[in-house]
Amino acid sequence: MAELGKVLVLSASAGAGHLRAAQAVERALIGMGAVREVRHIDVLEYTNKLFRHFYSKAYIEMVNTMPDVLGWLYDYLDKPWKNERRRLALDKLNTRPFVKLLQQERPDVVVCTHFLPAEIISWLKAKERISTRQAIIVTDFDVHAMWLVHHFEHYFVALDETRTHLQQLGIATEKITVSGIPIDPVFAEQKDKRTMRRKHGLKEDRTTILISAGGFGVGPIEHLVQSLLGLHHPAQIVAVCGRGKELKTRLDRMASRRLPPNISLHVTGYTTDMDEYMAAADLLVGKPGGLTTSEALAKGLVFVIVNPIPGQEERNADHLLEEGAAIRCNNLPVLAYKIDQLLADPQRLAIMQANVQRLAKPHAAQTIVDRLLLLA
């Protein structure tokens, strides 16, 4: 078997998805025994403090308080091969410790799950300051202009349509693989629904609706839960609060109140058992981030899209709806009604579940590693 030598998997902690994708690739590399040394690095740890704050905390603040501004920025910056010099000048100014790290580490291959390191490495390759081979994993269904670089060896994307998009932008076909978005291999494991419900204290025979706030505990979860209390069908709601301790406290308080007799509410904080909660569920209600969506598809969940972040999540939502793998609720007061309508039509639900299975790429991380070995 070919060996990749020394590999750096590079992410950025602007939202949890880029980190989770990097961890999935790192785990697949180690599991394959295909690498002499692998190290996962959050690139923002090698930037100046102000820049790091903008990329991480400011991003979460904008998601919560100014999503429309975030969407406007996303669309404004989505101009392929435009504004490259201006953006690169800013990134170069703020990532000098990262450049120094690359020159010290001298990796054979870098795998980027965020566009920031991809751009810096492309520039270094152009200047012949490093000779590492670069692979770029796009962590949403669409490819935004900020992912585009000139000096790389391979792109990994989620959909055939995304591959076609890159081809039309001048990327050679042989340098693109439709792998899916890499998720932890544990999501590919088949786990019995009833067994998982029993393990986590849930009723085995009741429709199970999962709500996830993601690793950072963001999102109007209380409003979602309140809306779901209006369901006519018997259901159990599982709310995963991530690292949001205050959110968990508020939901625990809600769960302790008198609920409708056909509804039960189970609240948990940060968990490493998300694959098991997904295996136990029938529907996932929330925002369609690239990683969450890919995990849900791998576990066979129909998505109920609520409040997607303008920009990348809106585009992810478009793909799910177009493929018949999701429904969307734009007005929370009718969320229970829309889910009741779906549950009342088993044939429609079965068709959507089949569409989910067709879209799912649970072995994306393995596909990526197999293709990376050809770079050795």
Which tens digits make up the pLDDT trace of 139-161? 999 999 999 999 999 999 999 99
Q: Could you tell me the pLDDT band of residue 200, with boundaries at 50, 70 and 90? A: very high
Q: Could you tell me the pLDDT band of residue 89, with boundaries at 50, 70 and 90? A: low
Which comes out higher in pLDDT, residue 93 or 136?
136
Q: Could you tell me the pLDDT band of residue 86, with boundaries at 50, 70 and 90? A: low
* Backbone region of residue 324 per phi and psi (left: phi > 0; alpha: psi in -120 to 50; beta: other values): left
Could you tell me the two tokens for 196? 């998982």
Q: Could you tell me the pLDDT band of residue 67, with boundaries at 50, 70 and 90? A: confident
DSSP 136-197: EE--SSS--GGG--SS-SEEEES-HHHHHHHHHTT--GGGEEE------GGGGS---HHHHH
Whether the pLDDT of residue 16 is over 90: the answer is no
| Planar angle of CA 199, 25, 216, nearest 5 degrees | 60
pLDDT at position 261: 94
pLDDT at position 147: 95
Q: Could you tell me the pLDDT band of residue 75, with boundaries at 50, 70 and 90? A: confident
Q: Which residues pair with 208 in a beta bridge?
A: 236
Largest CA distance in the chain: 67
| Domains of the chain, each with CATH number or no CATH | 6-181+363-375 (3.40.50.2000), 187-359 (3.40.50.2000)
Model confidence, pTM = 0.91
Whether the pLDDT of residue 308 is over 50: the answer is yes
pLDDT at position 283: 97
pLDDT at position 258: 87
Which tens digits make up the pLDDT trace of 181-191? 999 999 999 99
Residue tagged 């829309």 (tokens): 338
50-75: average pLDDT: 78
Q: How far apart are CA 10 and CA 95, in angstroms?
A: 13
Which tens digits make up the pLDDT trace of 208-231? 999 986 544 455 788 889 999 999
- Burial-class residue 205 by CB neighbours within 10 Å (0-12, 13-18, 19+): exposed
Under DSSP, is residue 215 helix (H, G, I), strand (E, B) or coil? coil
Q: Which residues contact 42 (CB under 8 A, 6 or more apart)?
A: 11, 12, 13, 19
Looking at the chain, how many residues does it have?
376
Q: Which of 207, 29, 202, 230 lies closest to 113 in space, CA to CA?
A: 29
Q: Are 91 and 120 in contact (CB under 8 A)?
A: yes
| Planar angle of CA 217, 222, 224, nearest 5 degrees | 100
Report the chain's mean pLDDT, rounded to a whole number: 90
Whether the pLDDT of residue 317 is over 60: the answer is yes
Q: Which of 341, 365, 364, 363 lies closest to 352 in space, CA to CA?
A: 341
pLDDT at position 216: 46
pLDDT at position 358: 96
Distance, C-alpha 111 to centroid of its chain: 16
Share of the chain above pLDDT 70, in %: 94
Buried b (16+ CB within 10 A) or exposed e, 48-58: eeebbeebbee
Q: Which residues pair with 7 in a beta bridge?
A: 38, 109
191-204: average pLDDT: 96
Share of the chain above pLDDT 90, in %: 65
- Segment of 10-14, 46-50, 224-228, 279-283 carrying the highest mean pLDDT: 279-283
Q: Which of 108, 104, 105, 98 lies closest to 36 in space, CA to CA?
A: 108
Q: How far apart are CA 241 and CA 18, in angstroms?
A: 19
Buried b (16+ CB within 10 A) or exposed e, 217-255: bbbbbeebbebbbebeeebbbbbbbbebeebbebbeebe
Q: Which of 277, 331, 280 lies closest to 304 in space, CA to CA?
A: 331
pLDDT at position 215: 47
Which tens digits make up the pLDDT trace of 234-265? 999 999 987 778 888 888 888 888 899 999 99
